Amino acid sequence: MRRFAILVILLAGLAAPAFAANVGFEEVKIPNGPEAPLTVGIWYPTDVAAAEHALGDATQSVAPQAPVAGHGLPLVVISHGGGGSYEGHYDTALSLARAGFVAAAVSHAGDTGKDESRVLQLWLRPAQLHRLVDYMLGEWPQHDKLDAARVGAFGFSNGGFTVLVAAGGIPDLSLMGPYCAAHADHDLCVTLRQAGVDPRLVANVAPGVWIHDPRIKAIVVAAPAFGFAFDRAGLGNVRVPVQLWSAAADHHQPPPFYDDAVRVNLPEPPEYHVVANAGHYDFLPPCGTHLSKVAPGICSSLPGFDRAAFHEQFNADIVRFFNDTLR
Q: H helices within the chain, ranges in order?
A: 2-15, 90-98, 124-138, 158-166, 176-182, 187-194, 259-265, 289-294, 296-299, 307-325
- In sequence order, the β-bridge partners of residue 219 are 153, 242
The pLDDT of residue 3: 45
Report whether 199 contacts 192 (CB < 8 A): yes
Instruction: Report the relative pairing of strands 216-222 and 102-106 from DSSP bridges.
Output: unpaired
Which residues of the chain fall below pLDDT 50? 1-17
**Is this model's pTM higher than 0.85 or not?**
yes
The pLDDT of residue 204: 67
The pLDDT of residue 78: 99
Local structure of 107: helix, strand or coil:
coil
The pLDDT of residue 6: 37
CATH of 18-171+210-325, one of 3.40.640.10, 2.40.50.140, 3.40.50.300, 3.40.50.1820: 3.40.50.1820
Local structure of 241: helix, strand or coil:
coil
Q: Locate CATH 3.40.50.1820 in the chain.
A: 18-171+210-325
The pLDDT of residue 310: 98
pLDDT in tens, 130-139: 999 999 999 9
C-alpha 27/C-alpha 42 separation (Å) is 6
Question: Which strand (E) or helix (H) includes residue 102?
Answer: strand 102-106
Local structure of 156: helix, strand or coil:
strand
Report whether 258 contacts 288 (CB < 8 A): no
